[in-house]
Amino acid sequence: MRRSRKVKILATLGPASSEEEMIRKLFDAGADCFRVNMSHADHALMRTLVARIRNVEKAVGRPIGILADLQGPKLRVGKFAKGSVELKPGAIFTLDGQDKPGDETRAYLPHPEILEAVQPGHRLLIDDGKLQLICEKTDGKALTCKVVAGTKISDRKGVSLPDTDLAVGALTEKDRKDLDAVLDAGVDWIALSFIQRPEDLAEARKVARGRASLLAKIEKPQAVNRLAEIIELSDALMVARGDLGVEMPLEAVPGIQKQITRAARRAGKPVVVATQMLESMISAPVPTRAEVSDVATAVFEGADAIMLSAESAAGQYPVEAVATMNRIAEQVERDPTYPVIISNQRGEPEATGADAVSLAARQIGETLRLSTIICYTSSGTTGLRAARERPQVPIVTLSPIVETARRLALVWGTHSVVTEDAHDLDDMVNRACRIAYEENFANPGDRVIVTAGIPFGTPGATNMLRIAYIGSDGRGGI
């Protein structure tokens, strides 16, 4: 199956989409990669979902990516004697380490690291910002705060700290157990939540040992401030607009989205735009006009993937949501302004052989109007560098490693095929041309570009480019 768009669709699985038949419908509607949210899935359910996705993959004959999203540190207040309390702006409210029910004057905060880190003047946002407090005094054991906005606080509501750097890492004990489980299950991508600093990626990287790629979710101001360092140490980024919109002014989020997307594109790292893209389709069969524009904006920016959360996981119209996102993306990429915008946002290549070959492949492909760029890649690096160029010409990636093909399911413009590595130059050209023909990317008489690394099978050694034509039998010629 060949998609008629370059941006990828990442669909979250959940109660509305956990059966194998529904997963197949979502793939047929346009989903390229599936997200398993470990905030809601236990290990047994996760393994079941992975097995069902792999069954669909086998049935459709296309590599499908799986992303496991770790919960990260969830910071919450304790419980209240009456379940909730009413507060007034200007009132004094204390958060402390006393494990007893809260009232109108105080609440239990079971996170000593917060009590130690928050300083006077720092904001505390409760329940996604519905209640806003500002710390006026602290002794390391209790925070005396003033109510700035909001009137209610209730049991176990979440706490956000936009001004505070916490000493704790991004992996909790639950995350460590989940990380081991998802790696054993064979997922392709691991998303790390509430990243604050590049060091937060180190522990997961050490545990993963290359068995899965790491995606850093950018959802805190601290991560935005250290974006360049986080990009360098991650394999991909996600613009997690939900929590970004809580911890930062809502009006700042669109600009931050562009900043993250363009920085990731310059680095050649995949970037996913997520949260509330078609939110109304949780309960309606059609989106709002504003949501359509939101999805279109992410596609125009050249994001590698756009994500559905509750729309596909728990909504009433999961298939319709994927199909709608697919149609929007296809229409945007047919728009005459799309290639101009994508081209204008293109970054300068790095001074490496792989980037030079990828740049040349794009320029030759577009100048000669060739049918496709065909990349041999074992690690996926060649495919990533080709996608970084955002060519108008389709990209077909050939890999002998199925895990590489699955990871590329999240990468812009790539159509991955699992095939054994080439034996020599003639086999390389013939195999590439035959697959381009069989996958409906080229017809007899068309010309294609083939890139590879010599010697074959050497990761990251892209150093060769050939122009070939498709013969009448689907084989290649020079």
Q: Which residues are catalytic?
A: 35, 76, 217, 275
Q: Which residue(s) pair with 16 in the sheet?
A: none
Q: Cite the DSSP H helix spans in 148-250.
A: 173-185, 202-208, 221-225, 227-233, 241-247
Phi, psi of 390 (to 5 degrees): 45, 55
- The beta strands (E) that lie in 220-314 are given as 236-240, 271-274, 305-308
Cβ atoms 64, 32 nearer than 8 A: yes
Residue 389 contacts by C-beta under 8 Å, 6 or more apart in sequence? 346, 349, 358, 359, 361, 362
- Round to whole Å and give the CA distance between 47 and 411: 24
Query: What are 234's two structure tokens?
Result: 């991650």
b/e for 236-259, b at 16 or more Cβ within 10 A?
Answer: bbbbbbebbbbbbeeeebeebbee
Residue 64 contacts by C-beta under 8 Å, 6 or more apart in sequence? 27, 32, 33, 34, 53, 54, 56, 57, 406, 409
